[in-house]
Amino acid sequence: MSVREELEEIERCVLSRHAMRSASTRGRLRVETECDLRPAFQHDRDRIVHSKSFRRLKHKTQVFLSPTGDHYRTRLTHTLEVSQIARTVSKSLRLNESLTEAIALGHDLGHTPFGHAGEVVLNRIFPGGFSHQVQSLRVVDELEKDGQGLNLTLEVRDGILKHSKGKGPILPEDPAEASITLEGGVVRIADIVAYICHDLDDAERGGVLQADRIPRECIRVLGETSSCRIGAMVKDIVGETRRADDGTLHMSAPVLEAMNRLRDFLFAQVYTVSWIRSNFDRASKVLAELYEHFLGDEGLFEQEIGVPKTGISRERMVCDFIAGMTDRYALSLYKRIFLPKPWEKL
């Protein structure tokens, strides 16, 4: 028996009846020889961590555009916080931690530079629209490894695609929106827990809001500090789900209501504050002008993106290129293309 098979046997004996077992995966896009050491979802997790798109997350905006302070979140630190929260929930429910972690680490690989401002502008100008969850799946399926993709399991790919909920219900009401695994559902809710707490924390650190403006009812239910709020939400999810024991995630009405109120508060008092909004408007202009310029300049297109590929539209290749940029690369490229250069004596 190989190490992988021993680990799969442990999963069969230890995990909950609601967990997804590695040996039961529905497979990959392309058949490949299984690893002797790592079960399928652990192998997926490792592939994501070693990918170029994962490394670029460290220079992509979470809320504050290109933050200069050492302690503001980036898209990478957000991803790690989601992973930690999701793993805690999964372990407490005896779910598959490797599957949970793989989905969490891969869920934002397709996110644009400049946070959701980049997503909004690409959705507006790219034919057919744009969403970061669909782009994340495209990254792992088609863009990574010079077009080979990471060849992940169906369960991880499904969780990546269905992790986002926007301002929709925290607990999905439409079965079509729910992940096919409970682990995928855990990542979806952990994503909300993470950004509700850390975006409030960053907003206080940046002077966007004072702690006394946070709705008192939310503080009464969830606590005064970020760590208390995370703890309260996680304990509620675990406790209510274990009590129901029906293969779906549950939360108590007071905690769910507090989460919804905090999310609404963030949209009203942080994400739309004037100077943050103006920064994102300028960032949107940068991406829109880069997009149009790449479509019209054949030489620049081939220099930066490469020779157009058969069967892939020019618009699609430009969209993929821009979505993969870091904040600093987008600004540097914009400066190089559009801003005049000082005269240098030859």
Enumerate residues 6+ apart whose C-beta is below 8 A from 343: none
Q: How far is CA 113 from the centre of its chain?
A: 12
Rounded distance between C-alpha atoms, residue 113 and residue 343, angstroms: 31
The pLDDT value given to residue 167: 75
Query: In terms of C-beta density within 10 A (0-12 exposed, 13-18 middle, 19 or more buried), how is residue 290 classed?
Result: buried
- Average pLDDT rounded to a whole number, residues 101-110: 98
Residue 249 clears pLDDT 70, i.e. is over it: yes
Between 145 and 273, the more confident residue is: 145
Encode 107-143 in three state secondary structure.
Answer: CCCCCCCCHHHHHHHHHHHCCCCCCHHHHHHHHHHHH
Q: If we measure between CA atoms, which residue out of 150, 147, 138 comes closest to residue 102?
A: 150
For 13-44, the pLDDT digits (tens) are 999 999 999 999 999 999 999 999 999 999 99
Class level of CATH domain 42-114+129-275:
mainly alpha
Taking the CA atoms of 42, 47, 53 and 56 in sequence, report the sign of the dihedral they define: positive
Residue 223 clears pLDDT 80, i.e. is over it: yes
Domain boundaries of the chain, sorted by first residue: 42-114+129-275, 278-338
- Angle CA 50–54–59, to nearest 5: 135
Mean pLDDT over all residues of the chain?
93
Q: If we measure between CA atoms, which residue out of 338, 342, 339 comes closest to residue 297?
A: 338
- DSSP states of 199-223 as a string? HHHHHHHTTSS-GGGS-HHHHHHH-
Residue 67 clears pLDDT 90, i.e. is over it: no
The pLDDT value given to residue 205: 81
For 111-161, the pLDDT digits (tens) are 999 988 899 999 999 999 999 999 999 999 999 999 999 999 999 999 999
Q: Where are the alpha helices (DSSP H) in 249-313?
A: 253-269, 274-296, 298-304
SS3 breakdown of the chain: % helix, strand, coil, rounded to 5?
A: 65, 0, 35
For 166-214, the pLDDT digits (tens) are 777 889 888 888 999 999 999 999 999 999 999 898 888 877 788 889 9
Q: If we measure between CA atoms, which residue out of 196, 307, 183, 305 comes closest to residue 248?
A: 183
What is the greatest pairwise CA distance in the chain?
Answer: 76
pLDDT band for position 61 (cuts 50, 70, 90):
confident
Return the axis-axis angle of helices 97-106 and 154-161, rounded to nearest 10°.
50
According to DSSP, residue 66 is labeled S
The pLDDT value given to residue 64: 67
Extract the tokens encoding 16. Answer: 């909950």
Give yes or no for a contact between 186 and 250, defined as CB atoms under 8 angstroms apart.
Answer: no
Taking the CA atoms of 307, 311, 315 and 316 in sequence, report the sign of the dihedral they define: negative
Residue 346 clears pLDDT 60, i.e. is over it: no
- Angle CA 175–181–184, to nearest 5: 90
Rounded to 5 degrees, what are φ and ψ at 213? Answer: -90, -15
- Angle CA 142–147–150, to nearest 5: 60
Residue 282 clears pLDDT 70, i.e. is over it: yes
The pLDDT value given to residue 345: 59
